[in-house]
């Protein structure tokens, strides 16, 4: 997460601290949501295999 914030600051030096914080939170939320989706997909595949 630190690298993400540092990259933002380097690529867009005019962004405020608040904007960087919001973007970091959104990025983290997207990662959490993507992990939840992949976990649900994995569980669904396991469930489907048991019914075969």
What string of pLDDT tens digits covers the 52 residues of the chain?
678 888 988 999 999 999 999 999 999 999 999 999 998 888 888 888 776 6
Residue 24 CB burial class (10 angstroms; 0-12, 13-18, ≥19):
middle
DSSP annotation string for 6-49: HHHHHH-TT--HHHHHHHHHHHHHHHHHHHHHHHHHHHHHHHHH
The predicted pLDDT at position 49 comes to 78
pLDDT attached to residue 52: 61
The pLDDT of residue 17 is 92
Q: Given this model, what pLDDT does residue 42 score?
A: 86
* Model-wide pTM > 0.85: no
């Amino acid at each position: 997460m630190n690298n993400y914030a540092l990259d933002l600051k380097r690529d867009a030096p005019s962004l405020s601290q608040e904007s960087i914080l919001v973007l970091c939170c959104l990025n983290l939320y997207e990662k959490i949501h993507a992990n939840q989706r992949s976990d649900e997909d994995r569980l669904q595949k396991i469930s489907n295999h048991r019914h075969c």
